[in-house]
Amino acid sequence: MKDNRRSFLKLSGLAGLGFAGGIMKGFAKEPQESIEAAPGNTFYKQQFNMSGYAAPKMETVRVGFIGLGQRGPSHLNNMTKLGGVSIMGLCDIREESVLKAQKGIEKSGQKPTHYFGNKDAWKKLCDRKDVDLIYIATPWDLHVPMAVYAMEQGKHVAIEVPAAKTLDECWQLVKTSEKTRKHCMMLENCCYDFFELMTLNMARQGFFGDIIHTEGAYIHYLLDLNFKKDGYYDMWRLKENIGRNGNIYPTHGLGPVCQVMNINRGDKMDYLVSMSSIDNMMNEEAKELAAKDDFYKPFVNKPYRGNMNTTVIRTNKGRTIMIQHDVTTPNVYSRIHKISGTKGSALKYPSPKIASSHDKWLSEQEFKSLEEKYQPPIVKKVGELAKQVGGHGGMDFLMDWRLIDCLRNGLPLDQDVYDAALWSAIAPLSEKSVANRSTSVDVPDFTAGLWKQNKPVDISLETGGTTTVKV
């Protein structure tokens, strides 16, 4: 009875979207968001499998940066410390941001061209024939237009998180990457944090047994920064929190556990349910600020998202993932990172812990022994250098080093366009579930069924690892 009811609801939903009357039109046109989101993704035929794809290697990676506000300068600084990198251009709508970024890299000897002032100046950077990779660290609504254009101009792209805001945008990234055979990597730095890398290596070697459940989160107090006038250009991040009730920033906690569970590479997400609390913080903050400053009056009595969102995902293999998001209540910072398996478990925050039974967490000495045994090759090679450079404890640098090393050695990237699309898609899917009393929502398969044969991320470092570091 339940299966019949579920099938009926699916068919009813498709009929309500005009599916029955427009099916032939759907084949004739670019697939629309409602059709792309249909269970099973039967309407999408993959053009080329970007999972495991290795682009031709290049001795020097020529890089252009778009967006030099909160995140761009950090990646720029990392690039000046890598051998085999030439910085070709810096772009931001604000001239002062470009000049500040240039001043920050003066000692490196890099002399990139500057682009600023015009809202379309970034296209000139993407049009250049002497650029191989475009870094995008702009407001979220610009990520996909810039990435698509850059790939169409023959550039690989690296996009800050989240890569996309809507399902339609996720599909744009997938189709363009496949069509152009250009990498589209979302810069999910948490996949390169030291404990996350170690637990990934442990999972690869069977320490946890069969993975049953994982958890991740982004719990980070950002209320003051979101309302700060000079925090984000044109208050863009505050505006993202209006009218979007769900987990709008899911990837930090999600990315690492997806790699542990081989999502898109042996398993896939089937459906999710999502629930949000009320907002007791953002509207109150807007009211308090507006009472003293008219600048904030437009932000009063807006439909802010709930302070805490909890989303639960079920995979094709019957495993579960819980993801949380709260950046407005005075919680202590946590990305969680929990792994539960048939032979062991791990938990990070407030401190990293490992257990091989239900009795207790391993002692500090036992943990150190495991750390030595399961330290992944990338950490052995550049971990200490990454800590010296910094950037969220070194994980930013590990990520940038790995991206450049893969491109220089013609290796597949650790994160491909299907990961960028899937991890980002949790935001609009969670919004849809929340808006419908937490009903289940099917998750699209961006790999078009090839998740069954795609190989897991290779963290062996048996090839590559040739990129030098200048600290």
pLDDT tens for each residue of 240-299 = 999 999 999 999 999 999 999 999 999 999 999 999 999 999 999 999 999 999 999 999
pLDDT for res 471: 84
Q: What is the pLDDT of residue 43?
A: 67
Q: What is the pLDDT of residues 2-56, one digit of tens each?
A: 444 444 333 334 333 333 333 223 323 333 333 344 434 546 889 999 999 999 9
Does residue 197 register a pLDDT over 80?
yes
- Give all strands of the β-sheet with 309-315 in edge-to-edge order: 353-355, 345-347, 334-341, 211-219, 320-326, 309-315, 269-276, 441-442
| Separation CA 257–CA 322 (nearest Å) | 10
User: What would the two tokens of residue 106 be?
Assistant: 């003066």
- Give buried/exposed letters for 336-347 (b at 16+ CB in 10 A, else e): bbbbbbeebbbb
* Residue 117: HSE in the Cβ half-sphere, 13 Å Cα cutoff: 3
* Count of beta carbons in the 10 Å neighbourhood of residue 426: 27
Helices 194-204 and 364-374: crossing angle, nearest 10°? 70
pLDDT confidence of residue 40: 44
- Among candidate residues 202, 471, 456, 247, the one with its CA nearest the CA of residue 354: 202
Q: What is the pLDDT of residue 296?
A: 98
Tell me if 88 is assigned to some domain.
no
Q: How many domains does the chain contain in total?
A: 1
- pLDDT tens for residues 75-106? 999 999 999 999 999 999 999 999 999 999 99
Burial label, 452 (beta-carbon count in 10 A; 0-12, 13-18, 19+): exposed
80 in any annotated domain: no
Residue in 56, 31, 57 with CA at minimum distance from that of residue 43: 31
Among 15-29, 57-71, 124-138, 391-405, name the one with the lowest average pLDDT.
15-29
Question: Which CATH number belongs to the domain containing residue 257 in this structure?
Answer: 3.30.360.10
Considering the chain, what is the average pLDDT of its residues? 92
Tokens of 174: 């997938």
CA dist 219 to 165, 334, 354, 460, Å?
20, 5, 22, 31
CB-based contact 143:136 (threshold 8 Å)? yes
Mean pLDDT across 344-359: 96
| Structural domain harbouring 351 | 190-277+304-375+415-451
Residue at 46 is within a domain: no
Amino acid identity of 439? T
267 located within any domain? yes
Q: Give DSSP secondary structure letters for 387-455.
A: HHH-SGGGHHHHHHHHHHHHHHHT---SS-HHHHHHHHHHHHHHHHHHHTTT--EEPP-TTTTGGGTPP
Q: Per-residue pLDDT tens for 54-78?
A: 999 999 999 999 999 999 999 999 9
CA distance 351 to 296: 38
Q: List, in sequence order, every beta strand (DSSP E) within 72-210.
A: 85-92, 113-116, 133-136, 156-159, 184-186
| pLDDT score of 206 more than 50 | yes
- CA 177, CA 185: separation in Å to the nearest integer? 10
Query: Residues 6 or more apart from 464 whose CB is under 8 A from it?
Result: 405, 406, 408, 409, 411
Within a domain: 247: yes
Give the rounded percent of residues in the chain with a pLDDT score beyond 90. Answer: 90
Q: What is the pLDDT of residue 133?
A: 99
Residue labelled with tokens 């009811």 = 5
243 located within any domain: yes
**What is the dihedral angle through the alpha carbons of 186, 187, 193, 195, rounded to the nearest 10 degrees?**
-10
- The predicted pLDDT at position 44 comes to 81
**Pair 144, 173: CB distance under 8 Å:** yes
Percent of the chain at pLDDT > 70 equals: 91
- Residue with the two structure tokens 């000897």: 109
pLDDT at residue 16, rounded to an integer? 38
Q: Is residue 228 part of a domain?
A: yes
